[in-house]
Structure 1
Amino acid sequence: MPRPLDPSLNRRRLRIELRRAREKAELTQREAAEALEWSLSKIIRIEAGTVSLSVTDLRALLNSYRVTDAQLVSELEEAARGSKGQSWWTPFADVLNPPFTQYLGYESAADTVRTYHAIAIPGFLHTEDYAEALLAPLAPQEHVRRVVELRTARQDRLFEGEQSPELMFVVDEAALRRRIGDPAVMRRQLQHVKNMMEHPRVTLQVLPFSAGAHYATLASFILLGFKDDDDLLWLEHAMGQIAVRDDHELIARYQECFALLTDMALKGDDAVALIDAAARDFGTS
């Protein structure tokens, strides 16, 4: 049975279509707000996709923007009705920060997810015991358990269902060989990575040490791709997290970087052979 559409996806549809309609009507956000006697912040929040929208307010906007396509109006009214309610990650608010909460909304709508990980196995592919061992030095046990539960829920949404995205991973050899937890944890994690290579929507490559230096040597990153919007770049570093949407030059550099990484990284049997070699370093079960 298909999973119900998350409210964040309906808010995103409204955000894109209403911004497109306003620009077609040649109105600034301030002019749109003044025409409806609304606050500017209300228009900004609607176009950011951070709030739900009533059908009444939607109709007022569409009338102001002179949108008359009956099918589009009907689809947007349905999206407005579905924009209310909690998103799937709301129960994990105790372990989420605002930047990552916003990122999850984008991730839920992505058609493609491309990611490079230099230091550790990507969270998308974590086993529970690997995730716990990775996070244990950073937070109390109860917090770690909640983060792992969030990570598992996120994996379920990405890998299950007909609407899940295409996922492309480039994992650095360093991530395969860095011991997180005890050897048994690493063996199970590496086996899980191999198993996920069989998933019909997963492409996984391994970047060997022999590839040398490259643009992303010092940082992991995620590129989200959309059919109806520009790519989004997600960066995590020692100073925090950032989602990049409007710096098209920076996004283009990371798109080029990912293409270069896939050219250098091992594929298929060669990637499996390197994963097996890493696993052997952690002994046998």
Structure 2
Amino acid sequence: MASDQGPIVQSALLRSELVRLRREKGMTQEQVASSLEWSPSKLIRVEGGKNSITRTDLQALLMTYDVTSESRQERLQALARGAREPAWWNKYKGEIDDMFLTFVGYSAGASYIRHFHGTLIPGLLQTREYAEVMSTGVVSETARSVAVRVRMQRQEELARRETPPRQFYILDEAVIRRHVGIGVDPGIMPAQLNAIADSAEQRDDLTIRVLPFSAGAHLGLYGPFTLLEFEGGLSDVLYMEGRPGASIMVTGDDPQITDYRDHFETLLEAALPADKSIALIRQAAEDLMA
């Protein structure tokens, strides 16, 4: 499973395990570094994800923490190897916001993706034609092309995973009623909606729920957000989407993550059931073609 999660998640899992082992041993970073004749900054960088760790250094840490099980040692070494693997999204560094690429890395290894959006089709559900229209505000043709390629590759890479993540989306009704692309090709949005409906009906790992206008004001009006859940004991990640450079990503035990879990469940209670949501999406597609 480790090699299926991508380098960012494997690195985070390894670091989490190493910190836990050190604390269980009752040792400070300075004490561990001294026992290994390392500088304290070396261990700080390893635990903080600033530096990768070699097989030899990892083995030294595991011996310090009295990890003698061969299977456990190999599992952690496998995580370390995976963390050093090149990521497909690295080729977009310098062209796409760094925080978003880190989020892409976390979502690439998630076991569960929960997402709410109140204005747009989420990137992981977009057709290429919809993505191209939504990228028209990007300043250059090159930047537009990169944005579309990233969205499409995210979808492709998740689909290639041995165990793809369970994806659960709540969409405000405004998302499915807006005729995106009408000035380019009036068929883009109906095709997008039918593609979503088809996928939701055909895939066991995808659920779409629509929050109808009749629900009135709701917590989602504060903005779109994504919650990522992982196997292996890694804490959830919260990503609050904003304008380029204004998005926020929260990790660890931050109470905002719990708050947004509650927000998602509250939105879910107000959303239509899955079958009625799909029916409404199909109807919206027909209405846009009329």
Same fold, TM-score > 0.5, yes or no: yes
Structure 2 Cα separation of the partners of residues 158 and 79 of structure 1: 19
Contact 2:133 2:181 in 1 (8 A): yes
What are the superposed Cα offsets for residues 152-172 of structure 1, whole Å, 9 maximum, x if unpaired?
A: 111112234322111100011
In the other structure, the counterpart of 1:93 is 93
Shift of 1:235: 0.6
Q: Which of 234, 242, 247 is the equivalent residue of 2:248?
A: 242
Q: Secondary structure at the match of 1:52?
A: coil
Structure 2 Cα separation of the partners of residues 131 and 44 of structure 1: 41
In the other structure, the counterpart of 2:216 is 212
Total equivalences in the alignment: 282
In the other structure, the counterpart of 1:189 is 192
Shift of 1:61: 1.4
Structure 1 Cα separation of the partners of residues 240 and 45 of structure 2: 23
Pair 1:161–1:59, CA change in 2 (3 A) = closer
Q: Secondary structure at the match of 1:216?
A: helix
Correspondence list, 1:1-285, <5 A = 6-182=6-182, 183-198=186-201, 199-227=203-231, 228-238=233-243, 240-246=246-252, 248-284=254-290
Shift of 1:175: 0.9
Pair 1:253–1:79, CA change in 2 (3 A) = closer
Between stretches 201-210 and 96-105, larger displacement belongs to 96-105
Structure 1 Cα separation of the partners of residues 5 and 118 of structure 2: 33
Contact 1:7 1:83 in 2 (8 A): yes
Shift of 1:22: 1.2
Shift of 1:256: 0.8
Pair 1:179–1:218, CA change in 2 (3 A) = farther
Shift of 1:266: 1.1
Structure 2 Cα separation of the partners of residues 118 and 40 of structure 1: 47
What are the superposed Cα offsets for residues 148-194 of structure 1, whole Å, 9 maximum, x if unpaired?
A: 11111111122343221111000111111122212211111111111
Shift of 1:9: 4.1
Q: Equivalent pairs: percent with the same residue?
A: 36
Structure 2 Cα separation of the partners of residues 46 and 105 of structure 1: 19
Structure 1 Cα separation of the partners of residues 15 and 227 of structure 2: 20
Q: Secondary structure at the match of 1:68?
A: coil
Give the TM-score normalised by structure 1. Answer: 0.90
Q: For residue 223 of structure 1, what is the amino acid of its counterpart? A: L
Shift of 1:4: 6.2
Between stretches 163-172 and 98-107, larger displacement belongs to 98-107
Contact 2:126 2:192 in 1 (8 A): yes
Give the TM-score normalised by structure 2. Answer: 0.89
Structure 2 Cα separation of the partners of residues 79 and 85 of structure 1: 10
Structure 1 Cα separation of the partners of residues 215 and 5 of structure 2: 42
Between stretches 80-89 and 177-186, larger displacement belongs to 80-89
Indicate the RMSD between aligned Cα atoms, in angstroms.
Answer: 2.1
Contact 2:236 2:252 in 1 (8 A): no
Contact 1:118 1:218 in 2 (8 A): no
Contact 2:4 2:109 in 1 (8 A): no
Q: For residue 234 of structure 1, what is the amino acid of its counterpart? A: Y
Shift of 1:88: 1.8
Contact 2:4 2:162 in 1 (8 A): no
Pair 1:48–1:197, CA change in 2 (3 A) = farther
Contact 1:233 1:251 in 2 (8 A): yes
Structure 2 Cα separation of the partners of residues 268 and 138 of structure 1: 34
